[in-house]
Structure 1
């Protein structure tokens, strides 16, 4: 079954450091090996969590 909020445990697995400002959004891909993060620095980064901790792709975006 699905865990209830009271049964969840939290632990830090890794820290991804490359953004130069606050991260406002993170989204997993369907297989949970890639993580996309969007920041006010203004970049979006795609992280491959099966390999190195360096972002695979860095995209620039406009912050409004």
Structure 2
């Protein structure tokens, strides 16, 4: 079986560069927000667990 690899060697056209630029900028904008959302979820989960643990130790009724 012979594979045609000519598409790997061709230079991208202007429209393809534009698509790559838009996609790259989208990633640059989106990745920090996704990372912040993940970190905030972890902090929220850990905070809730810590409050439940503390309320169990101090015998305080505390619900979230």
Higher strand share: 1
Q: Name the TM-score class by shorter chain.
A: under 0.3
TM-score when scaled to structure 1? 0.24
- Name the TM-score, length of structure 2 as normaliser: 0.24
Q: Which has the higher contact order (CA 8 A, sep 6+)?
A: 1
